[in-house]
Amino acid sequence: MLAQPAQKYRPFKGAQLADRQWPNRTIEKPPIWMSTDLRDGNQALIDPMSVETKLTFFKEIVAMNFKEIEIGFPSASDTDFQFTRRLIDEGHIPEDVTIEVLVQARKELIERTVESVRGAKRVIIHMYNPTAPSFRSIVYKTDKAGVKNIAVQGTKWVMEATAKAPEVEWVYQYSPEVFSGTEIEFSKEVVDAVSATWQPTPENKMIINLPATVEMGTPNTYADQIEWMHRYIERRDSIVLSVHPHNDRGTAVAAAELAVMAGADRVEGCLFGNGERTGNVDLVTLALNLYTQGVHPGLDFSDIDKVRKLVETCNQIPVHPRHPYAGELVFTAFSGSHQDAIKKGFAQRKDGEIWEVPYLPIDPKDLNRDYDAVVRVNSQSGKGGVSFLLQQKAGLELPRRLQIEFSGIVQKINDETGKEMTAAQIVDVFQQEYFGATQGFEYVACHVSDSKTIAEGMQVEVELVKQGEAFTVVGEGSGPIDAAVTAINKVVPAGVSVVDYHEHAVREGADGEAVCYVELKVGNGRPVFGVGRHKNIVVAAVRAMVGGVNRAS
């Protein structure tokens, strides 16, 4: 890298717009969406899509509810020509969907393009030519007038060619390519000349598309350019103002959003931002950003994994695991404090309320994503995450101090292995630690009686085995726990005292079970937990106590 990059690169200068209005606006309705996956996305693939793949992709884009779809560049390749014909001849285009085809401002290519869509109901014919200074001097070796003439002449060729196919309802779209790098007054001059030639009306609008062919400045500079054009181009009421951001600086989504605030009616882009170089603007992120503001985007991403897999298969490019809304890891928290907040958010949440779960800007369920993946446990995790998974997977609602005790056990394993622990593994470890603690006393059975002859009110008989020897201890107390403590104390000389006790049901109804968590101390030892589960709550409590005594020793 250069020590002085200013010797090689100059800062981008956008439109002069001192009284810009867009910063005070919000987006309250979705723009018109146009998917260019089959054109701009396709032209950037290592292996462009086959006709069959394009057809599969097209049908799914339709199912997502796109009403405008750029299907290709039919004059460029036989594949695109054949695909266009198949869509039309086999009737794959729904009544309310308009296909779009791209072409350069070249007569023979325009004629071939018109031929490719003969018989279609409605078509957007999209012509482009570059207008930026470097293209004028490097690619065309011409001046502003020369470039403007290409645009106007191309428009006339489109008018002539489309007039020969009157069965099609034609919509004209013009793009001054590299609008982002073209002097703004010159962009207006070219666009005005094109619309003066085509003569759109408020009833028969044309589309003026202003591409950030290469993203050149911060997104606010694009918004300024769009607002400038929105205010000053001629025949604005007869024009659908469209934007086509690319992502060279990684800010295409922001640029598109600010451009809509600045007056754009329509956005062109690709699913997950496929496209030339760093890609086109990502329509999934744009649409779901709107959704999280309470505005329905009009597109259906209610099975986001299906959309992701489709795009990965058709493009042969993976979607990044941290891609907004769709990546494999984007609804997953590994770190302790995040898990803790998410767990509390879910616990407080009631159906029908406004979504407010910390760290999750959208409910994964709305995209058919599972809550399972929300919390994953590794050495960065804390008690919140561990207990969340136990609750989700096994229905266990651990009291706070047990959460602390058990997460210490999990943490130790994670530190040793350095690996993630799955929910099933955590449940396993919990079961081994708390339900499998049989060293010491083995619980066999217990019997509870509350006859009037029992002085303390209740009697519990506990049958145990220790080192192969079976015996029974009996205790009385004001309640079953009390009585069980008295009974067990008879075989634990150091003395057992209950510090805390919690219970809850794990399943409702006839097959319901109770889980008891007993925190106890043996002698002067530190408090430990025992956990028991059984249909009968007293049995669950006695089991918890026996388990706790075993763990304490």
Ligand X SMILES: CC(=O)SCCNC(=O)CCNC(=O)[C@H](O)C(C)(C)COP(=O)(O)OP(=O)(O)OC[C@H]1O[C@@H](n2cnc3c(N)ncnc32)[C@H](O)[C@@H]1OP(=O)(O)O
**Beta carbons of 457 and 475 less than 8 angstroms apart:** no
Structure token pair of residue 187: 């962009």
By C-beta, is 106 or 249 nearer to ligand X? 106
Q: How far apart are CA 263 and CA 219, in angstroms?
A: 14
Structure token pair of residue 278: 């760093």
Q: Pattern of binders to ligand KIV over 27-46, x per CB under 6 A?
A: -------------x------
- Least distance to ligand X, CB of residue 211, Å: 7
Q: How far apart are CA 330 and CA 550, in angstroms?
A: 42
* Binding to ligand KIV in span 166-195, by CB under 6 A: 175, 177
Q: How far apart are CA 420 and CA 376, in angstroms?
A: 7
325 binds, among ligand X, ligand KIV, none (CB under 5 to 8 A by kind): none
DSSP symbols for 194-253:
HHHHH---SSS-EEEEEEESS--S-HHHHHHHHHHHHHHSTTGGGEEEEEEEB-TTS-HH
**CA distances from residue 67 to 57, 64, 70, 244 in whole angstroms, order as listed:** 14, 9, 10, 17
Q: How far apart are CA 359 and CA 293, in angstroms?
A: 15
**Beta carbons of 186 and 176 less than 8 angstroms apart:** no
By C-beta, is 73 or 331 nearer to ligand X? 73
Residue with tokens 């793009």: 175
Q: Which of 66, 128, 388, 441 binds ligand KIV (CB under 6 A)?
A: 128
Of the listed pieces 115-123, 157-165, 206-214, 398-406, which binds ligand KIV according to CB under 6 A? Answer: 206-214
The CB-side HSE value for 47 (13 A sphere, CA atoms) comes to: 8
- Least distance to ligand KIV, CB of residue 359, Å: 35
Residue with tokens 């099975």: 303
- Least distance to ligand X, CB of residue 417, Å: 49
Q: Verify binding: residue 213, ligand KIV, rule CB under 6 A.
A: yes
Q: Is 244 annotated as a binding residue?
A: yes
The CB-side HSE value for 196 (13 A sphere, CA atoms) comes to: 13
* Binding to ligand KIV in span 498-537, by CB under 6 A: none
> Please, what is the Cα angle at 295 between 291 and 296, to 5 degrees?
70
Q: What is the DSSP letter of 472?
A: E
Q: Count the Cβ atoms, other than its own, within 10 Å of residue 101.
A: 25
- Least distance to ligand X, CB of residue 234, Å: 23
Q: Is 289 annotated as a binding residue?
A: no
73 binds, among ligand KIV, ligand X, none (CB under 5 to 8 A by kind): ligand X
- Least distance to ligand KIV, CB of residue 307, Å: 22
- Least distance to ligand KIV, CB of residue 246, Å: 6
- Least distance to ligand X, CB of residue 49, Å: 13
By C-beta, is 245 or 336 nearer to ligand X? 245
- Least distance to ligand KIV, CB of residue 412, Å: 55
Instruction: Please name the amino acid found at residue 117.
Output: V
162 binds, among ligand KIV, ligand X, none (CB under 5 to 8 A by kind): none
Give the pairing type, strands 469-477 and 458-466: antiparallel
By C-beta, is 209 or 403 nearer to ligand KIV? 209
Residue with tokens 């009996």: 474
Q: Pattern of binders to ligand KIV over 239-278, x per CB under 6 A?
A: -----x-x--------------------------------
Q: How far apart are CA 376 and CA 415, in angstroms?
A: 15
Q: How far apart are CA 131 and CA 229, in angstroms?
A: 15
70 binds, among ligand X, ligand KIV, none (CB under 5 to 8 A by kind): none
Give the pairing type, strands 122-130 and 98-104: parallel
Q: Is 224 annotated as a binding residue?
A: no
By C-beta, is 222 or 430 nearer to ligand X? 222
Where does this chain bind ligand X (CB under 6 A)? 40, 43, 73, 76, 104-106, 109, 128-129, 139-140, 150, 177, 213, 276
105 binds, among ligand X, ligand KIV, none (CB under 5 to 8 A by kind): ligand X
- Stated as kind and residue range, the H or E segment containing 21 is none
* Binding to ligand KIV in span 215-244, by CB under 6 A: 244
Q: Is 40 annotated as a binding residue?
A: yes
- Least distance to ligand X, CB of residue 366, Å: 34
By C-beta, is 131 or 387 nearer to ligand X? 131
- With 0-12 / 13-18 / 19 or more C-beta atoms within 10 angstroms meaning exposed / middle / buried, residue 185 is exposed
List of residues contacting ligand KIV (CB under 6 A): 40, 102, 128, 175, 177, 209, 211, 213, 244, 246
Binding residues for Mg(2+): 40, 244, 246, 280
